[in-house]
Chains A and B, each alone.
Chain A
Amino acid sequence: MKRTLYTLLLIAATMLGAPSCSPSLPDSPAMSKKLPQIYPDYKGVTIPCNIAPLTFEIKENEATSFLTRFTVGKKELLLAGRKVTPSLDEWRELLASFTVAGKIKIDTYFEKEGKWYMNQPFFVNVSPDSIDRYLSYRLIPPSYVAYEKLDIMQRDLTSYDEEVIYCNMLLATEQKGQCINCHHYKNYKTDNMQFHARQYLGGTLFVHNGKLSKLDLKTDSTISAGVYPSFNPVYDVVAYSVNSTGQVFHTVNHNKIEVQDAASDLILYNPVNNTVSHISNGPTDLEVFPCWSADGRTLYYCSAHFEVQDTANTVTKEEILRYEEVKYDILARRWNPETYEFSEPDTLYAASRMGKSATLPRVSPDGRYMLFALGEYGCFHVWHKDADIYMLDLATGEARPLADSNSDDSESYPTWSSNGKWVMFSSRRDDGNYTRVYIAHVGANGSVSKAFLLPQSSPDFYTLFEKSYNRPEFMIEPVQFTPVQAAEVLAGEAVKATYSKNCK
């Protein structure tokens, strides 16, 4: 009942226009030797100069009052309360002075048993490198098989504004569910983009030079419709994996789920003539996660060699029994844009030789580096707690983990900002189960700073939000169509792609 009473009092106070007073610093507080415990942990992170305000909560359990001071040069911002939520205007004013790299000094004070204390200050580094204004992701519960409402959203990173790109419930009915996934963009722009709808009114919503259409990429010669996409940044083709995917559940292991491909190949789609052709379809190779090089002439992808040992078993059954033996390497094939032909594959990163499995390669816009997720086995590292993000220097072949950004939980789905100055990935470090978006700065020599959690207007947002952020992708502009326009296209007939040995 106490809570109800507080709520009523709060409403009453708001209605009566409770007088507000600006906070002032306490006189001679006792100095604590500790840094403050805050959530999200923004201590020592590097942020872009155009990011939305960082909000955080001070985790000092027995304290009754709190003060936080932001200092940039002579500018100061003083905020009261356990939840520190600078307004957009206050924040912009603070960050306005950062034309070169600098720091925000943050002092936190708390009152306990009538006495004020001051924690050690912490710093937030501000980089003059701006970040792409938009970010898109799918909001999905970290569920196993069931799905209901799924949204593909776009978020303005300079504020907290969030919009729906498409929600599956626009078309789904009680008996006919629709799954949506794999949103992807060409060169961070939205005039060439796509996402898939599965089951009811399934197909690929494909935007080609600004024109929306619905495609059916399944042909008699391929094992499925297109799944994981990669737009060629230079030429008008898209590489897809085609997969026969299943899920099984751990009875004890904290990873909880294994998502496995019983079969997977790569295809190339030519949107001009609506034709697909195979890139790679080795019978004992599981090829997945295509990614084009910056010049559009090399296709990187992941591949695991898996052979059935007991002929009485199906691939699926044996993969379940030997799931820890499925290990993916990163391969590369040169592509000739004149002939549309691919070279034989070269192994770029032989993770399996190290007893590891590498997935989700993403090449930096300048073509120098490749990010990927590395775990012990398998292809679906979002469920693997040992998975970390690694960076491969394509010039030297040297790979190293993002030591300051990885955690003891799952890191997955890395990607680059359009200027190559920021990397973004998903992580389950907060609670072990819900995927959140983390962003980190890339220094001049490829060093990556401590990652920061995508800021929200309230610091306890993530504590209460029961959805995962899936496939975070940067965009430099918002999506051009409305959710209803997408629904109308998806409600219509799909244009069926045709198969050809060479889709040129």
Chain B
Amino acid sequence: MLTRNKLLAGAAALVGLSIIAPASAQGPIKIGELNSYKVFPAFLEPYKKGWELAVEEVNAAGGVLGRKIEVISRDDNGNPGDAVRVAEELLSREGASFLVGTFPSNVGLAVADFAKQRKVLFLAAEPLTDKIVWDSGNAYTFRLRTSTYMQTAMLIPDAVKLNKKRWAIVYPNYEYGQSATAAFKKLLSAKQPGVEFVTEQATPLGKIDAGAVVQALADAKPDAIFSSLFGPDLAKFVREGQQRGIFKGVEVFNLLAGEPEYLDPLKEEAPDGWYVTGYPWSEIKTPEHTKFLDAYQAKYKDYPRLGSVVGYATIMSAVEIIKKAGSLDQDKLIKAASGLTVLTPFGMIEYRPIDHQSTMGAYVGRIGVKDGKGYMKEWRFVDGKDVLPPDDEVKKMRPAN
């Protein structure tokens, strides 16, 4: 009979089981992945699909170093404290060989610092912050995604060409928006002396008072606007601005707004003619992208978002690092990652030895609307290596270690 004592003993055993670490044998190679899945689901659900596809492909091709790979994924709750805890769990309990992932800047930077302390390779997938490879860069951290600085720099040639004098700026009030704004002002002033920044609006992330912000921008009578809004803030900004007619005769540049994650929700209201960075997934015809697109659509019956590409390329990079290192020794992994080249859906990328930033590029173009949906027109691919600052500047920013 089930007595209370037996129940208690059973419960105790269960707790005990969850505490004892699973034995690590010559099973699959484990890659520890952590991300803020529940805080930024719009970007990270496609991201997860992307890396799941990569895992499937790698294992179907026989894995790496003769072993299958397994990604152990954890939710870091968008909080650096929790992230460091799950990172530790991935390493010490799950026996992960190294870490990949993260989305917000503060979490990425916290995990990067943790990786340095623990002397473990960390491949930052998503965080856009420039600091993760520059001011706060360290030997153990590599970053895949095209950074804030790079994406901003990609828009500069178009901005310079338009030769507008009065610029208004709006940005979400945290690291990403602040660095985008700083980079834009610096780069544009250098290329176009005499440019004026007539007003700046810092809006709380996710809580923009769009009507008031739009009005304040219009009051400054700008010729052009630079925005780094995304998500719900972008949607509100676009709608209020269009209803109030402030975009008429004003050129607008908006980082990230061409990414399907943020463009598609706007549907027929997608702002025609805006200059954006993004991902025109249906029109890219390179063989590496076509292969990825076909596999993705076959598996998920859905089209990829930018997050899918990042997730896919993250795991592909991780696998190439292991392959090149030929071992799971941290020093060898780090050495392998530095200067590694990987073929991604966006073409060949290199993890630069100088700052561990990948040269992954991005698509720059303008938003158009057809069939009640936004898309990217007049787009071109900009290779990441062409928009990074000169080496001596990078060296100055990056601490020696």
Are both chains from one complex?
A: no
Residues of A that sit less than 8 Å from B by CB = none
